Every structure is written in structure tokens, then in C-alpha cells.
């Protein structure tokens, strides 16, 4: 192809770490044509971001290109120095980063930050640069751009910050834009708006774009060509359609299977050979509750107001039966985490009552709830498996602690047996128990978190985005695990998530929250297939579906 | 929404109010501490070792020491309320007057020392952070360690030995100005500024020469914490996402390091500088002694040694007040430097 803007030839990148040299990229070859949008998909550690950083020469000090070439307009980027390099950065190629708020200077007004980028590459006056910055803010569709020029990043939402970041990246009309997980961490609706904007700008300005993402669905929606990376190598490169209908490589197959779609079921998430191990568990038909038994959980008119006065949650009511799974979805700020924490009795509600197993627990202060006999019945799995484990506790200690505190167990063989039993139930190999969290992978940490939560045999498990920080293939396994636990042990699950595809698979019923109140609720499949309110419809439409069939064919 | 500056002022005011109980606590605590310490001021200030019992009783009565401690405390507090810090038995002058005369000398010395320390420490920290693990980094670390290890009076004496005795560059280490120079009219109490205001540049140079050695020996001691904190926060700043963004658009090295990294990294340095300043003001007694500097710290030490209650209490109150004030200034500076502070 003569129109290739970027040509990566057998690129190898290695990092020097305390434990020796780690090869992050092991010989990848890739081309990007002018104006093309290429998807670079892979899980964490696959080397996709490192490839991006090597191309823009932003590798940190420990990283080094050990082999291969990166040709940009025929010029080898890896050999550029000093001023030649700076003329390239920003002017010819630029980058958008994952965490938009951290990527902007917190103590510099955003207008100045955009102007900084402009002034680096154009010899114009400060006023002219300011005017251009204002134009750019308009181009990225920021409302009231004049006022926003003097705003600081902390005064803007995550989506707004990402728009500002886009404005900085496109300020000098680069020919190549590398977007590294540009929408990870944003709400689904924001995600769609930002991605649409990015695609529109790239198309209008004829910019080639490399979209680096872990989300196969997102890449499929916006890219004509997707390269799949695994452990530093490109394992497959194809159009989305071929990738989804006829994946060639085993890893791609697993990745495609693990990406939840509108129609997938939990069982579909792993490939057939992996499924065999769990297939033995047959769903027990749940006995109908005896007449007159109170529901496991009944929440009545729950409300929470924080200091400022406006209600974070208002008038929230729900009931849950034993062994039922209910999803709680909504965008950030919708109050779903606040609600789940009130139900877990980690924070106190301002109004309303929580009735668990026929007893009111809403009025037990959160401070004292650890002494309540219901503490072990209601357990929580936290969002970030890295942050929610004590770094000085081994996996064994993490699981044993609640048993000692809540079940009154002492050390010794009985405790050891219970901990090992929990580890087995969540599929955590026993030889990992003496390890500390930093010696475990993300998926293993998630299992420790779940084992800890089920150690005291709770009847209600509250899960606050338990898979948000995990790769899709790990997520698939964790979801299966949760579903199995629910069926085997009759644990009720309250699943808080922004990922509607996951909720649809795992939950019998779904509650949609917005600005602290319930917008819609009902049986999951019906609710998603046929949303009754505009808000739910918007949420559903924003999910990057992996489109199969006619829709995709029409697009190609 | 309030503007950033307004919110900062409100915060500062609130901080000032909340520090009043602490100030009162310091007042009472020092008072009690002085009564508990051994030594009878009346004996100390009597005419001589042969003074009779009657004379000592008389002095005790004059000083109000014959009353019970709670009564003394009430009298003391009501005096403070009227702005009367008592009289020094040592100098025979009101404590307030003594402090007013000596405070500018201490402040001038401390300010100069802090300025020298900052001018040295910030670039050292930045240079060390730009090349972590390099020879420069280790050199800075060694220099800082030496500065902390060598006590100020030793470094002070060394400086005198080298610059006064060996090289003859520095003037006699005998106070703020040599006795033959005529003093300018006192406006600020800071000699170097007063000379400038009076247009006497020769005098100004003389005052500066006197100031430089004690200031440097004090500065050496505090360069270490300032340089270390600059290095640490600069490292964080250089490794942050927004510096990566700045590099990704090709900003110049100067812009990346100074405008993006350093301006963010300087925030914790402001806090530490405030703490360092307050500590220096009280702790520079050794330097004041070595250089015969007529400051408040050496005044307080002399008073303490001679069981002269009023100056010590006055000094502690002054230090507590300055500490509150410095923290307040740091707070305001921080609020101006960091737009995020005001919205907490």
C-alpha cells in the first residue's frame, strides 16, 4: 500500500524492571493508512498501550525500543532526537489518554493548556492562540466555551475533560491520532457521545486514528479493521465481521466469546473446553417460598442526603427474595453505589427503612452494625480488587478475618478447613493462599474478594461493580462463578453495575436509577429488549453492541 | 459559587478563629510550666548572695509571687488581655518593648536564611529529580545529609573561621552592625531595608555583610528538608499523566519542567517552608549566640536561665502567634496556588 501513513515493522519493546528485562512488545508489524481508523484490541499486559507510547515516543525511562522500525511518512520515529521529535509530537501525531482528568494539568486553566499546545507549533500571538483555543472548544462541542476557557479540570466532568483532551490533541491538525482507551471509565452514554465526536472529527479532518481499547465491541463499532494483540504479539488482524463470525486464532475466539453481547448467556462467555468443568452443576429448581414468609430484603422509601442538601437517593423501595439476583444500573451520580452501601449498612440512610429477614435494620447505626447478627448475612464485594484487600494480609488472612470476627472462629485446623473450603468454592488454587495481594493477578484478587465475602455464608451478597477493573476473559470467569454460587448456595445477589450487558445476563430483575430515583424496573430481558422510558432506551442504545447480521453487513 | 480568592479568605478566617483555643492553651501551659520549674526568681534578682530574708520576701511580694498560683494566673491573663506582657527583671524594661526591639533582628535573619535555603533547595531538588539515581542526585543527597548532620553552631563557627579568620572577607561576627556605623531611622526594624529607605548604600552593604554568615549557617540546616520534599514531589509530578500529555504535544523542555511539573510540585514545598520558618525562628538561638545576634531567641534563653518569668512567657506567646500567622499565610498562598483547594 502506497498510502500508508504509519508503518510499524517488527517492533520490539522491553522494560527494565527489578526482576529483569520484560518484553512488552515482541515483534509486531502493522500499517495505518491515511484517514483510517484502526482498532488495536487486547487485554491488560498485551502491549497495546506500549505500542502506542512507542509510536509517540512517550515510553517512560524504563522502556526501550529494542528492535524494529516505526516509519511515519517514511521517517523512522525511533531514531528522532530533540527538535525533530518535538516537531512531530503534537503537530504530526498526538495522543489521547485513558484517565482524562489526570491527563490535564490540575492547576492550569484549560484554555491556557490548549493555547500552550498551539503556541508550541505555530508562531502566532497569545491572543490569536486563545482565539484558536476557543474555536477548538467549540469544535469539541463544549457548552458555553467562553466561560469554560478559564475553568480548571476539577470543575469539569470526566466526559468534558476528555473533550478538552481531544481539543489539545487535534489543536495542530495532526495526521495521526492515537487514542489509548479514550472512554474507559466514562459512563456508557458519555462514552458514546465522546466516541462519536472523536470519529466525526477524525473523519472531517482526515486524521488517521488508532483506537487502543480492551473493548472489542467498541472497536467493532468504530473501526473497519481490528488488530488483536496478545502478550506482545498481533495474533489476528481482520475486519470486525470476520473477527466475530469466523475468528481464526484461539485467543480471538476466547476474547470474542467472553465479550458480552445483547444475546449472550453466562454459559456462552467461555469456550467449550473451559465450559466442561462447570457444566456439572445443574440448576436446582428453587422451591417456592412458603406462603407468608417475609421477603429476604425489603427496602422502604430509602433516602440519603449529604451535607449540601440535595438528595443523593430519594424514595427508593425494593424487595428481594432469597436466591434472587437483582441488578442496579445507572450512570455515575445516579446513586446506585450510595444505595448499595446503605443496604450493606456501611452508611446511614437519612430516611426510610431497611427490613432484612423480617427485622428492621435501617435504624442500627452503620458504626454499630458490625455487632449485629445480620452482619454476616449481608456481605459486600468491592469494585476494585486491588484496593479492597489489605496489602499486609495474605489471601488466607483476608478470608479468615471475617470468620474470626463474625463467626467467632479461632485459629487452628477448623479455621484452615473453612478457608480452604471457601477458596475451593471460588476456584482459587490452595497454594495461592499464603500469597500477598501484590503477588496475585487481578482475577485471583477478585476471587479472594468473593471468597472473603462468602466465607460467613451470607444470604445477601452486594456486588459493587465487581468486574469493572477486570479483563473480559477474567470477567467471564468471575460472572460464571457468581452465577454458580447463587444457584448452589441460594445467595441473593444485588449487582451494582454500569455494564448493562453483564446485568442482563446475571440478573433476573433490573432497577434503573437516575439522579437518585428509580426510573424503571422489571424483568431484565423484557426491560432491555423493550425499554419503556427514554432514559433506559438511551442507556441500552449506548452499549457498544457487537452487531451481527444485517446491521453490520449494511455498514460494510 | 464563591470565587477562589474569596473562599480562601473565608477558610483562612475560620482557621484563625479555630486557633484561638490553642493559643490560650499555650498561654496557660507555659505559665504553669514556669511555676513548676525549679528556681526562685526572687532569690535570683535579690541584691546579692547575702540578701536577707526580708529583702527576698519584699521582692517576692513586688512580683506577686506570694499569691497562690491560680490567683497569679488570673492576674497574668488579665494583664495579657490589656496588652501588658509584664516587665523583665533582667533588662528592667517592659517585655513588649524588649520583644519589639529584638523581633525584627530575628525576623530579618530568619527570612534571609529561608530565602537562601529556598533559592538553593528548589533547584537542587529539581536537578536531583530530573536525574534520579545519577551522580547529581547522590551529590545533592550527600550535601543535604551534611547540612543536617552538622549542628548550626558548628557550621557557624566553621564559616567564621574560614571567612572571617582565614580569608578576612566577613566582618566581625558581633551583631547586626559594627558599632561605628550610624544607624538609619528605624521604620521597619529590618536594618537592610531601613538603610535602603534612608538611601545609605554603604550602611546597607555593611548590614548585609553582617547578615550573610549567620543566615547561611541557618540555611544550611534547613536546605535538606526543603530539597528532599522538592525532589519527592517533583518526581511524582514528572511521572504524572499531565506531564505525559504536555510531552505528547511537544511542549518545550522548559515549559514541561517549569510550567507543568514544577508549579504542581511546589505546592507541598510551600507547606514545608511554612513549618520550617516557624521552627527556625525559635531554634536559631544557637546561631544568635554564636554571632552575638540580638534576637528574641537568645533573649528568651537568657531569661529562662535567670528564671525571669515574664520574658519567657512573652516569647512563647509570640512564637505561638507567629506559628498561627505563618500557617495562615501558607493557607492563603496554597489557596491562590492551587485552584482545587477552595472547593473542598
At B112, which CATH number?
1.10.3720.10
Please report the sign of the dihedral spanned by the C-alpha atoms of residue B281, residue B284, residue B285, residue B289. Answer: negative
Average of per-residue pLDDT across B323-340: 85
In this structure, are strands A359-360 and A325-329 parallel, antiparallel, or unpaired? unpaired
Residue A45, Cβ density class (10 Å: 0-12 exposed, 13-18 middle, ≥19 buried): middle
Give per-residue pLDDT as tens, A421-442. 999 888 888 888 998 888 888 8
Residue B74 pLDDT > 80: yes
String of DSSP letters for B76-139: HHHHHHTT---B-TTTSSBHHHHHHHHHHHHHHHHHHHHHHHHHHHHHHHHHHHHSTTSHHHHH
Query: Is some CB atom of chain A closer than 8 A to the CB atom of B245?
Result: yes
Check whether B344 has a pLDDT greater than 50. Answer: no
Could you tell me which residues are beta bridge partners of residue A22? A15
Q: Residue B44 to residues A128, A217, B273: CA-CA distances in angstroms?
A: 77, 88, 40
Residues 6+ positions from A92 with CB-CB distance below 8 Å = A72, A73, A174, A175, A176
pLDDT band at A275 (very low <50, low <70, confident <90, very high): low
| In a domain? residue B52 | no
Are A85 and B247 within 8 A, CB to CB?
A: no
Tell me what percent of the residues of chain A surpass a pLDDT of 70: 92
Contact B255 A120 (CB under 8 A): yes
Tell whether A85 lies on the interface with B, counting CB pairs under 8 A: yes
Mean per-residue pLDDT of chain B: 84
C-alpha B168/C-alpha A186 separation (Å) is 68
Query: Residue B49 — very low, low, confident or very high, per pLDDT cuts 50/70/90?
Result: low
In a domain? residue B235: yes
A226 has which bridge partners? A39, A238
Contact A117, A80 (CB under 8 A): no
Nearest to B250 among A87, A103, A152 (CB): A87
Non-local (6+) Cβ contacts of B168 within 8 A are none
> Exposed e or buried b for every residue in B41-50, given b needs 16+ CB within 10 A?
bbeebbeeee
Retrieve residue A311's grid coordinates. Answer: 438528595
Task: Answer yes or no: do A116 and B343 touch at CB < 8 A.
Answer: no
| Closest CB from B240, B245, B267 relative to A168 | B245
**CB atoms A154 and B339 under 8 Å:** yes
Q: Which residues contact A350 (CB under 8 A, 6 or more apart)?
A: A303, A304, A305, A311
Give chain A positions within 8 Å (CB) of B260. 105, 108
Which residues in chain B are contacts of A104 at CB distance < 8 A?
A: 242, 245
Compute the Cα dihedral for B55, B58, B59, B60 and give only its sign: positive
Instruction: Give the homologous superfamily in CATH for domain A295-377+459-544.
Output: P-loop containing nucleotide triphosphate hydrolases (3.40.50.300)
Backbone φ/ψ region at B210: left (φ over 0), alpha (ψ -120 to 50), beta: alpha
Q: What residue spans of A490-531 are helical by DSSP H?
A: 500-506, 524-529
Distance of CA A168 to the CA centre of its chain: 25
pLDDT band at A10 (very low <50, low <70, confident <90, very high): very high
- Candidates B4, B248, B269: best to mutate against A (most CBs of A within 10 A) is B248
**Which of B2, B238, B245, B255 to mutate to probe the A interface, most A CBs <10 Å?**
B245
Tell me what pLDDT residue B261 has.
93
pLDDT of A549 over the 70 cut: no
**Per-residue model confidence as pLDDT tens digits over B54-71:** 777 777 777 777 778 888
Q: Do A66 and B221 form a contact (C-beta atoms < 8 A)?
A: no
The three cell numbers locating residue B45:
534578682
Closest CA to A262 of A532, A11, A530: A530
Do residues A21 and A14 make contact, with C-beta atoms less than 8 angstroms apart?
yes
Inter-chain residue contact B249 with A172, CB threshold 8 Å:
yes
pLDDT band at A276 (very low <50, low <70, confident <90, very high): very low
CB A527 within 8 A of CB A536: yes
Q: Does A300 touch chain B (CB under 8 A)?
A: no
Reading the block at residue A184, the C-alpha cell is 474507559
Model confidence at A282: pLDDT above 60: no
Burial B26-36 (b: 16+ CB within 10 A, else e): bbeebbeebee
Residues A465-520 have pLDDT tens digits of 888 777 888 888 888 888 888 888 888 999 998 888 888 888 989 999 988 889 99
Q: How many CB atoms lie within 10 A of CB A512?
A: 26
Structural domain count, chain B: 1
CB A312 within 8 A of CB A347: no
Q: Which residues in B lie closer than 8 A to residue A102 (C-beta atoms)?
A: 240-242
Flag if A120 and B251 touch (Cβ within 8 Å): yes
Spatial distance between the Cα atoms of B85 and B173, rounded to a whole number of angstroms: 31
pLDDT exceeds 70 at position A274: no
> Cβ A154–B340 below 8 Å, yes or no?
yes
Given the C-alpha cell 524494529, which residue does it identify?
A68
What is the per-residue pLDDT for A288?
56
Q: Which residues contact A149 (CB under 8 A, 6 or more apart)?
A: A109, A110, A111, A130, A133, A134, A137
Q: Is A151 on the interface with B (CB under 8 A)?
A: no
How many Å from the N-terminal Cα to the C-terminal Cα in chain A? 20
CB of B337 within 8 Å of any CB in chain A? Answer: yes
One fold for both A4-259 and A295-377+459-544? yes
Q: Is A120 on the interface with B (CB under 8 A)?
A: yes
Q: Which one-letter DSSP state was computed for residue A21?
A: E
Range of the domain at B155: 93-337
Is the CB of A275 inside 8 Å of chain B's CB atoms? no
Read off the pLDDT of each residue in B39-66 and give the average, rounded to a whole number: 72
Whether A168 has its CB under 8 Å from any CB of chain B: the answer is yes
- Element holding B148 (H helix, E strand): helix B135-149
Q: Which of B251, B53, B335 is nearest to A117 (CA)?
A: B251
Grid cell at residue B175: 551583631
Extract the C-alpha cell encoding B133.
539515581
| Mean pLDDT computed over A540-545 | 78
Q: How far apart (Å, rounded) are the C-alpha atoms in residues A291 and B78? A: 78
Q: Chain-centre distance of CA A529, in angstroms? A: 23
Strand locations in chain B (E) = none
Residue A287 binned pLDDT confidence (cut-offs 50, 70, 90): low
Task: Write the CA distances from A211 to A1, A9, A180, integer angstroms.
Answer: 21, 19, 6
CA angle B172, B175, B176 (to 5 degrees): 105
Q: Does A89 contact B264 at a Cβ distance shorter than 8 Å?
A: no
Chain B hits for A155, Cβ within 8 Å: 343
Report the chain A residue with the minimal C-alpha distance to residue B237: A105
**Is position B35 within any domain?**
no
Q: Which residue of A has its CA nearest to B242?
A: A103
Contact between B339 and A152 using a beta-carbon 8 Å cutoff: yes
Nearest by CB to residue B249, choosing from A60, A90, A155, is A90
- How, if at all, do strands A176-180 and A63-72 pair? unpaired
Instruction: Report residue A362 as a C-alpha cell.
Output: 435501617
Contact call for A99 and B241, based on CB within 8 A? yes
- What kind and span of H or E run contains A76? strand A75-76
Residue B169 Ramachandran class (φ > 0 left, ψ -120 to 50 alpha, else beta): alpha
**Spatial separation of the C-alpha atoms in residues A539 and A408, rounded to whole Å:** 45
Q: Who has greater pLDDT, A550 or B166?
A: B166
The Cα–Cα gap between A293 and B93 comes to 87
Which residues of chain A are within 8 Å of residue B251 when distances are taken between CB atoms?
A: 86, 90, 116-117, 120
Asked, for residue B87, whether it belongs to a domain, the answer is no
Place of cell 490548549: A114
The DSSP code for A223 is -
Does any domain span residue B49? no
Q: Check: CB of residue A43 under 8 Å from CB of residue A67.
A: no
Determine, yes or no, domain membership for B185. yes
The percent of chain A in helix, strand and coil, each rounded to the nearest 5, is 40, 25, 35
Q: Is B154 helix (H, G, I), strand (E, B) or coil?
A: helix
Q: What sign does the CA torsion over A243, A246, A248, A249 have? A: positive
Distance of CA A109 to the CA centre of its chain: 29
Please tell me which of A24-33, A254-263, A545-554, B12-21 the model is most confident about, judged by mean pLDDT.
A24-33
Q: How far is B104 from chain A (nearest CA, A)?
A: 36
Calpha distance A250→A264 (Å, rounded): 19
Average pLDDT (A129-139) is 92
Going by C-alpha positions, the residue among A437, A364, A375, A430 that lies closest to residue A406 is A375
Count of helices and strands (H, E) across chain A: 21, 20
Q: Which of B250, B252, B260 sits opposite A105 (nearest CB)?
A: B260
Instruction: Write out the three cell numbers for A83.
Output: 527538535
Q: Is residue B45 part of a domain?
A: no
What residues pair up with A297 in beta bridges, in sequence order?
A320, A356
Q: Are A446 and A474 in contact (CB under 8 A)?
A: yes
A415 touches chain B (CB under 8 A): no
Domain ranges of chain A: 4-259, 295-377+459-544, 382-457
Fold of A4-259: Rossmann fold (3.40.50)
> To which H or E segment does residue B237 belong?
helix B201-238
Count of beta carbons in the 10 Å neighbourhood of residue A50: 23
Chain A CB within 8 Å of residue B255 CB: yes
- B269 part of a folded domain: yes
Q: Is B248 close to A172, i.e. CB distance below 8 A?
A: no
Residue B33, all three cell numbers = 510550666
> Which of A187-191, A212-216, B150-154: highest mean pLDDT?
A212-216
Residue B1's pLDDT band, with cuts at 50, 70 and 90, is very low
Amino acid at each position: 500500500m502506497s498510502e500508508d501513513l504509519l508503518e510499524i515493522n517488527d517492533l520490539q519493546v522491553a522494560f527494565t524492571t527489578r526482576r529483569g528485562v520484560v518484553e512488552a512488545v515482541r515483534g509486531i508489524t502493522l500499517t495505518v493508512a491515511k484517514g483510517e481508523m484502526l482498532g488495536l484490541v487486547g487485554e491488560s499486559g498485551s502491549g497495546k498501550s506500549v505500542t502506542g507510547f512507542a509510536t509517540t515516543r512517550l515510553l517512560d525511562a524504563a522502556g526501550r525500543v529494542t528492535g524494529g522500525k516505526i516509519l511515519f511518512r517514511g521517517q523512522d520515529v525511533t531514531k528522532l532526537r530533540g527538535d525533530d521529535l518535538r516537531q512531530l509530537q503534537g503537530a504530526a501525531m498526538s495522543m489521547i489518554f485513558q484517565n482524562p482528568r489526570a491527563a490535564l494539568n490540575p492547576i492550569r486553566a484549560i484554555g491556557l493548556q490548549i493555547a500552550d499546545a498551539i503556541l508550541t507549533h505555530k508562531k502566532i500571538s497569545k491572543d490569536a492562540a486563545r482565539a484558536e483555543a476557543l474555536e477548538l472548544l467549540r469544535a469539541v462541542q463544549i457548552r458555553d466555551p467562553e466561560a469554560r476557557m478559564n475553568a480548571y479540570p476539577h470543575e469539569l466532568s470526566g466526559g468534558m475533560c476528555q473533550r478538552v483532551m481531544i481539543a489539545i490533541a487535534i489543536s495542530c491538525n495532526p495526521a495521526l491520532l492515537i487514542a489509548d482507551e479514550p472512554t474507559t471509565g466514562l459512563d456508557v452514554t458519555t462514552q458514546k457521545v465522546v466516541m462519536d465526536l472523536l470519529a466525526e472529527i477524525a473523519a472531517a479532518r482526515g486524521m488517521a486514528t488508532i483506537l487502543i481499547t480492551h473493548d472489542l465491541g467498541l472497536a467493532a463499532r468504530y473501526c473497519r479493521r481490528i488488530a488483536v494483540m496478545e502478550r506482545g504479539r498481533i495474533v489476528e488482524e481482520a475486519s470486525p465481521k470476520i473477527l466475530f463470525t469466523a475468528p481464526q486464532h484461539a485467543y480471538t475466539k476466547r476474547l470474542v466469546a467472553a465479550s458480552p453481547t445483547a444475546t449472550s448467556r453466562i454459559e456462552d462467555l467461555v469456550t467449550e473446553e473451559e465450559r466442561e468443568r462447570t457444566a456439572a452443576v445443574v440448576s436446582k429448581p428453587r422451591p417456592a417460598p412458603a406462603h407468608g414468609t417475609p421477603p429476604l430484603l425489603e427496602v422502604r422509601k430509602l433516602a440519603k442526603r449529604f451535607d449540601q442538601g440535595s438528595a443523593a437517593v430519594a424514595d427508593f423501595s425494593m424487595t428481594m427474595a432469597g436466591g434472587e439476583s437483582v441488578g442496579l444500573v445507572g450512570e455515575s451520580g445516579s446513586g446506585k453505589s450510595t444505595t448499595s452501601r446503605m443496604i450493606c449498612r456501611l452508611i446511614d440512610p437519612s430516611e426510610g427503612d431497611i427490613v432484612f429477614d423480617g427485622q428492621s435494620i435501617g435504624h442500627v447505626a452503620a458504626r454499630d452494625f458490625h455487632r449485629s447478627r445480620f452482619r454476616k448475612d449481608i456481605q459486600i464485594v468491592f469494585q476494585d480488587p486491588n484496593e479492597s484487600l489489605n496489602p499486609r494480609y495474605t489471601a488466607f488472612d483476608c478470608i479468615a478475618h471475617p470468620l474470626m470476627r463474625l463467626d467467632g472462629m479461632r485459629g487452628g485446623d477448623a479455621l484452615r478447613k473453612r478457608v480452604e473450603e471457601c477458596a475451593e468454592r471460588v476456584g482459587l488454587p490452595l497454594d495461592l493462599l499464603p500469597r500477598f495481594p501484590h503477588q496475585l493477578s487481578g482475577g485471583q484478587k477478585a476471587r479472594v474478594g468473593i471468597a472473603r465475602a462468602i466465607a460467613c455464608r451470607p444470604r445477601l451478597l452486594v456486588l459493587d461493580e465487581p468486574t469493572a477493573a477486570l479483563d473480559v476473559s477474567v470477567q467471564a470467569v468471575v460472572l460464571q462463578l457468581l452465577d454458580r454460587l447463587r444457584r448452589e448456595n441460594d445467595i441473593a445477589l444485588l449487582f451494582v453495575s454500569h455494564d448493562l450487558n453483564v446485568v442482563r445476563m446475571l440478573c433476573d430483575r433490573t432497577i434503573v436509577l437516575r439522579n437518585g430515583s428509580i426510573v424503571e424496573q422489571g424483568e431484565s430481558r423484557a426491560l432491555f429488549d423493550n425499554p419503556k422510558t427514554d432514559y433506559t432506551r438511551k442507556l441500552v442504545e449506548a452499549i457498544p453492541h457487537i452487531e451481527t447480521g444485517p446491521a453490520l453487513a449494511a455498514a460494510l | 459559587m464563591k470565587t477562589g480568592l474569596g473562599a480562601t479568605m473565608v477558610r483562612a478566617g475560620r482557621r484563625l478563629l479555630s486557633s484561638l483555643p490553642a493559643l490560650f492553651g499555650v498561654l496557660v501551659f507555659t505559665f504553669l510550666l514556669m511555676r513548676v520549674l525549679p528556681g526562685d526568681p526572687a532569690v535570683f534578682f535579690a541584691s546579692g548572695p547575702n540578701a536577707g530574708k526580708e529583702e527576698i520576701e519584699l521582692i517576692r511580694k513586688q512580683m506577686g509571687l506570694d499569691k497562690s498560683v491560680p490567683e497569679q494566673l488570673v492576674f497574668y491573663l488579665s494583664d495579657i488581655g490589656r496588652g501588658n506582657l509584664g516587665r523583665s527583671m533582667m533588662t528592667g524594661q517592659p517585655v513588649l518593648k524588649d520583644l519589639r526591639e529584638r523581633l525584627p533582628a530575628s525576623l530579618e535573619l530568619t527570612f534571609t536564611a529561608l530565602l537562601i535555603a529556598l533559592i538553593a533547595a528548589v533547584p537542587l531538588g529539581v536537578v536531583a529529580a530530573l536525574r534520579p539515581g545519577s551522580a547529581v542526585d547522590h551529590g545533592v543527597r550527600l550535601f543535604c545529609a551534611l547540612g543536617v548532620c552538622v549542628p548550626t553552631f558548628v557550621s557557624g563557627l566553621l564559616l567564621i573561621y574560614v571567612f572571617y579568620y582565614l580569608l578576612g572577607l566577613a566582618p566581625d561576627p558581633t551583631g547586626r552592625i559594627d558599632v561605628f556605623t550610624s544607624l538609619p531611622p528605624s521604620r521597619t526594624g529590618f536594618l537592610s531595608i531601613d538603610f535602603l529607605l534612608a538611601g545609605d548604600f554603604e550602611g546597607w552593604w555593611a548590614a548585609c555583610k553582617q547578615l550573610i554568615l549567620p543566615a547561611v549557617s541557618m540555611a544550611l540546616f534547613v536546605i535538606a528538608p526543603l530539597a528532599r520534599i522538592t525532589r519527592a514531589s517533583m518526581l511524582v509530578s514528572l511521572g504524572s499523566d499531565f506531564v505525559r500529555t504536555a510531552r505528547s504535544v511537544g511542549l518545550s523542555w522548559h515549559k514541561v519542567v517549569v510550567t507543568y511539573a514544577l508549579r504542581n510540585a511546589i505546592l507541598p514545598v510551600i507547606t514545608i517552608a511554612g513549618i520550617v520558618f516557624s521552627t527556625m525562628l525559635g531554634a536559631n538561638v544557637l546561631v544568635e549566640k554564636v554571632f552575638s545576634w540580638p534576637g528574641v531567641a537568645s533573649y528568651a534563653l537568657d531569661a529562662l536561665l535567670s528564671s525571669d518569668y515574664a520574658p519567657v512567657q512573652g516569647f512563647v506567646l509570640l512564637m505561638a502567634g507567629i506559628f498561627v500567622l505563618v500557617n495562615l499565610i501558607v493557607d492563603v498562598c496554597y489557596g491562590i496556588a492551587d485552584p482545587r483547594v477552595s472547593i473542598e
